Amino acid sequence: MPGSPPALLGVRNLRGAVLPVVRLAAVVGAQGGEAPKRVLVVEEESGAAAGFAIDEVLDVGEIGGVDEAADSALLTSQMLTDGGELVGLLDVGRVLAVVRGGATP
Amino acid sequence: MSDPETEFLEIFRDEARERLDRMVDTLLGLESGQPPPDAVDSLFREAHTLKGAAAMLELDGVRTLAHAIEEILEAARAQDGGVPEEAVDPLLRAVDCLRRQIVDGTGDGADLVSELGAVRTRLQTPETSDEITPAAPPTSMDGVHPERQRTIRVPAEKVDRLLDLVGETALHRRRLDHALGNSAVGRQAVADELGTGERLLDDLQDAAVGMRTLPLSSIVGGFPRAVRDVALAEGKEVELATRGTETELDRVILEGLSDPIVHLLRNAVAHGIELPDERERRGKPRGGLVVLSADQRGAVVVITVSDDGAGVPQSLLEDAEKAGSLAEVLARPGFSTAASVSELSGRGVGLDAVKAHVEAVGGSMEASSRPGEGTAFELRLPLTLALLDVLLVERGGHVFGIPLTNVEEGVEVEESLVLEGKTALRVRDRSVPLGDLAGLLRAPTAPLSERAPAVIVATSGRRRALRCDRLLGEEQVVVKSLGPLLSSLPAYLGAAILGDGRVALLLEPGYLVRAEGDDVVRSVAAAEPARAPKVLVVEDSFTVRELQRSILEAAGYRVKTAHDGRDGLNSVTSDEEIDLVVTDVEMPEMDGIELTRAIRAHPQRSSLPIVIVTSRASDEDERLGIEAGADAYMVKRNFEQQALLETVHRLVGR
């Protein structure tokens, strides 16, 4: 979408509403993400919806042991260990704030 | 629709019902001994608002009774802050009486007014125990009362749902047309039915939109009087002109808008317009002019209140320059341009309340002023639903919509001429600046073909010809908001979903005619994206360094890192592309303050913008940093990425 923040992939039609889609890989600084296949729809506390372009959904589950010590990393509000794997818990509001911050005319 | 007076009465009835319901709830809470925390204040506010509206509608009975309620509450507030038990019952009866007068147009509050007066007197002199005047039973007047429209109240969500469905039905209709294609041709009966269906759908759409919106004219009825009253009290000569009051606004927004607009009008008269002699001295006509205008711009309705008065003082304009917004400065709580609060502006809402109200409904307030020429306030209000006729065009694979009211014509570009380095198009002996739509939007895309057409867009006296790949045709679309993530982009009004499910971006005509022309020409030649500014992050903590890198990169900057001041200084001197430095303070080898001093002393790089980000929060440290020559100083403890990005953006302009 012309003139939009660089982390924004574009807008798409979601059941008659206009949904901005965020290049999630660009925001979190991850490798790849050139051709994301799916869009995960998220909603902020304020009710604003957005889409995150992702490769795939690995699992949907409840979160157990949350390690709150790692809250200095700004995009991931908390980290948790799931079966020995370190998983970042994305703070949707902060991700969207970063996208907003990079807006150009 | 009926005349504005009746329409406004309908709105007032709706509003009054809600206010009276809330008053009853509060009073019942008082009676049960569990009042809400701000009981007296909220009762006072409701009564005060009713009084104001009633005065404007010349409903004298309502006004007098509301005033009596207000007075009793004021007396209670002056005593100990609470409503005494004995006052609750008369207040409840007074609220009932108000309801009868407003909703049914029956009843007379005279008895209650005197009863409330007696209660108030007792409140003010608590030791004497006067006799209570018993209230007369409510008189039922079944006689003549004003003819009025029947009203049903429906939750706004239900109307919105209906509107969504109508919009979806219209889309379905277009898909159906598309699917049928030419097969309906030759079958007259089918074609006729389709035609009927289309007309019905149009009517349905109009009816549904009409349920949600009302013209601004439905609330302007009392404005001339409000202006006249203030002018009279101030000894000024003022004329009120209204423009565009047929503009339709969301009902819910419109209902709360009367007070804020009245406040702006009174402000304009009381503080804007000069006294007649003063005006004459300045070479202006003796009578001042206040203009109230409304204008729909895509999904936003702009209501402007402007005056041709003295303008705000220069010192305020300077403050506004610093704060970035005049509205911000004028709306500071407690700020008043008046030396003394005049009788008429009285207890009304302040400019801060106007701003808060407009923001509460999702809008914004802007102000502008020229010394000696006047002041204008702009309320930008969202239209929850807007239908817009647009011209659809295609450029670089995207579909864009341009409001049809701003399209003069579509033309073929046969030859263009270059004037002062800018391309222009000759249309019927008139020269119109010519640009590439993609260039204007800074969208890297393939160059235009030689025969690419152009659309001539015009607004507020300016025009520009914009070239695109194809003109697709006219269409009526439902304007959808781009949401908070994208609403700050000045180029777009919103978006629309087309019949084939594609999203069309709706362009803001003002942006199209005003945006930088240079970019246009350059990108017509080569659609090369501008190089992003390069930021050097100097930080000894790996985590913080990488974090800042990811924030800046996500926002589109190029980032280089250094692990201490010495390393940073090397980068600055060796890499000419660095546009800005973000540095920590405490680092080994060379700290951030020393780095700042070293850069400032450097023969070539002394003007490089520097942002210090540190955990040291004392004023003394900040002073040290700024004295060393830093452009900005941010504290990590309340460090927010948004603030960092804003600072960087401010310094290197991206």
Which phi and psi (to 5°) does residue B416 adopt? -120, 160
Q: How far is B515 from chain A (nearest CA, A)?
A: 10
A8, B503: Cβ pair inside 8 Å? no
B391 and chain A in contact, CB less than 8 A: no
CA distances from B157 to B7, B18, B289, B384, B494 (A): 22, 17, 40, 11, 21
pLDDT of residue B563: 87
A4, B489: Cβ pair inside 8 Å? yes
Which phi and psi (to 5°) does residue B544 adopt? -60, -40
B555, A72: Cβ pair inside 8 Å? no
A20, B483: Cβ pair inside 8 Å? yes
CA proximity to B531, closest of B448, B442, B647: B442
Nearest to A7 among B438, B480, B554 (CB): B554
CA proximity to B535, closest of A102, A28, A26: A102
Compute the 3-state secondary structure of chain B and give helix, strand, coil in percent, each to the nearest 5.
Answer: 45, 20, 35
What global pTM score does this model have? 0.44
B462 and chain A in contact, CB less than 8 A: no
A2, B555: Cβ pair inside 8 Å? no
A14 and chain B in contact, CB less than 8 A: no
A30 and chain B in contact, CB less than 8 A: no
Token pair 């008659």: residue: A16
A73, B543: Cβ pair inside 8 Å? yes
pLDDT of residue B52: 77
In B, which residues are within 8 Å of A24 by CB distance?
A: none
B625 and chain A in contact, CB less than 8 A: no
**Complete DSSP assignment for A30-53:** -S--SS--EEEEEE-TTS-EEEEE
In B, which residues are within 8 Å of A26 by CB distance?
A: 553-554
CA dihedral B133, B134, B135, B139 (to 10 degrees): -120
One-letter amino acid of B510? G
Q: How far is A4 from chain B (nearest CA, A)?
A: 7
Nearest CA in chain A to B639: A74
A101, B168: Cβ pair inside 8 Å? no
A-B Cβ pairs (cutoff 8 Å, strict):
121
A72 and chain B in contact, CB less than 8 A: yes
A29 and chain B in contact, CB less than 8 A: yes
- ipTM greater than 0.85: no
Token pair 């109009």: residue: B206
pLDDT of residue B348: 38
pLDDT digits (tens, 9 = 90+) for B94-138: 988 888 888 877 777 788 888 888 888 877 765 444 444 444 444
Token pair 């925001």: residue: A27
In A, which residues are within 8 Å of B492 by CB distance?
A: 3
A13, B555: Cβ pair inside 8 Å? no
Sheet (strand B386-395) strand order: B470-479, B386-395, B398-403, B503-507, B492-497
In B, which residues are within 8 Å of A17 by CB distance?
A: 480
A90 and chain B in contact, CB less than 8 A: no
In A, which residues are within 8 Å of B551 by CB distance?
A: 74, 98, 101
Average pLDDT, chain A: 67
Which phi and psi (to 5°) does residue B590 adopt? -140, 125
Which phi and psi (to 5°) does residue B357 adopt? -65, -45
CA dihedral B217, B222, B226, B232 (to 10 degrees): 110
Cα B627 versus chain centre, distance: 40
Q: How far is B496 from chain A (nearest CA, A)?
A: 8
* Alpha-carbon gap, residue B347 to B47, rounded angstroms: 12
pLDDT of residue B580: 92
The confidence band for A8, taking pLDDT boundaries of 50, 70 and 90, is confident
The confidence band for A66, taking pLDDT boundaries of 50, 70 and 90, is low
Compute the 3-state secondary structure of chain A and give helix, strand, coil in percent, each to the nearest 5.
Answer: 15, 40, 45
A104, B556: Cβ pair inside 8 Å? yes
Nearest CA in chain B to A19: B482
Residues B232, B262 contacting (CB under 8 angstroms)? no
Most confident of B171-185, B204-218, B565-579: B565-579
* Alpha-carbon gap, residue B274 to B270, rounded angstroms: 8
Q: Which long-range CB contacts under 8 A does B566-569 form with residues at least 24 apart? A: B566/B590, B567/B538, B568/B536, B568/B538, B568/B595, B569/B595, B569/B598, B569/B599
Nearest to B641 among A3, A46, A98 (CB): A98
Q: How many residues does chain A have?
A: 105
pLDDT of residue B281: 92
pLDDT digits (tens, 9 = 90+) for B588-601: 888 888 999 999 88
pLDDT of residue B653: 63
B483 and chain A in contact, CB less than 8 A: yes
Residues facing B302 on adjacent strands: B295, B380
CA dihedral B136, B142, B147, B149 (to 10 degrees): 80
CA distances from A72 to A38, B155, B208, B547, B637 (A): 29, 44, 50, 9, 10
Q: Say if strands B534-538 and B578-583 run parallel, antiparallel, or are unpaired.
A: parallel
* Alpha-carbon gap, residue B563 to B43, rounded angstroms: 62
Q: Which residues make Cβ contacts (< 8 Å) with residue B240, sequence separation at least 6?
A: B223, B224, B227, B265, B290, B291, B292
Residues facing A12 on adjacent strands: A19
One-letter amino acid of A27? V
| A59-63, B263-267, B337-341, range with the lowest pLDDT | B337-341
Nearest CA in chain A to B645: A101
B555 and chain A in contact, CB less than 8 A: yes
A48, B482: Cβ pair inside 8 Å? no
pLDDT of residue B289 exceeding 90, the answer is yes
Average pLDDT, chain B: 78
Q: Which long-range CB contacts under 8 A does A11-16 form with residues at least 24 apart? A: A11/B482, A11/B486, A11/B495, A11/B503, A11/B505, A12/A39, A12/A51, A12/B503, A13/B497, A13/B501, A13/B502, A13/B503, A14/A41, A14/A49, A14/A51, A16/B164, A16/B167, A16/B168, A16/B171, A16/B497
* Alpha-carbon gap, residue B456 to B458, rounded angstroms: 7
pLDDT of residue B518: 39
**Complete DSSP assignment for B44-100:** HHHHHHHHHHHHHTT-HHHHHHHHHHHHHHHHHHHHTSS--HHHHHHHHHHHHHHHI
A69 or B4, which is more confident: B4
A12 and chain B in contact, CB less than 8 A: yes
CA distances from A76 to A30, A51, A68, B428, B634 (A): 13, 17, 10, 60, 22
B554, A26: Cβ pair inside 8 Å? yes
Please, where are the H alpha helices in B393-541? 437-440, 509-514, 517-525
**Complete DSSP assignment for B318-361:** HHHHHHT-HHHHHTSTT--SSSS--TTTTT---HHHHHHHHHHT
Q: How far is B502 from chain A (nearest CA, A)?
A: 7
pLDDT of residue A74: 56
The confidence band for B392, taking pLDDT boundaries of 50, 70 and 90, is very high
Burial of B438-468, coded b for 16+ CB within 10 Å and e otherwise, reads bbbbbbebeebeeebbbbbbbbeeebbbbbb
A12 or B596, which is more confident: B596
Residues facing B293 on adjacent strands: B243, B304
B483, A49: Cβ pair inside 8 Å? yes
B645, A16: Cβ pair inside 8 Å? no
**Complete DSSP assignment for B166-199:** HHHHHHHHHHHHHHHGGGGTT-HHHHHHHHHHHH
Q: How far is A105 from chain B (nearest CA, A)?
A: 6
B522 or B644, which is more confident: B644
pLDDT of residue B265: 92
pLDDT of residue B652: 81
DSSP B549: H
pLDDT of residue B219: 85
Most confident of B99-108, B136-145, B613-622: B99-108
Nearest to B497 among A16, A98, A104 (CB): A16
Kindly report the number of other CB atoms within 10 A of residue B387's CB atom.
Answer: 15
B645, A98: Cβ pair inside 8 Å? yes
Mutate to test the interface with A, among B394, B445, B486 (most CBs of A within 10 A): B486
Q: Say if strands B503-507 and B398-403 run parallel, antiparallel, or are unpaired.
A: parallel
pLDDT of residue A6 exceeding 60, the answer is yes
* Alpha-carbon gap, residue B394 to B103, rounded angstroms: 54
pLDDT of residue B640: 65
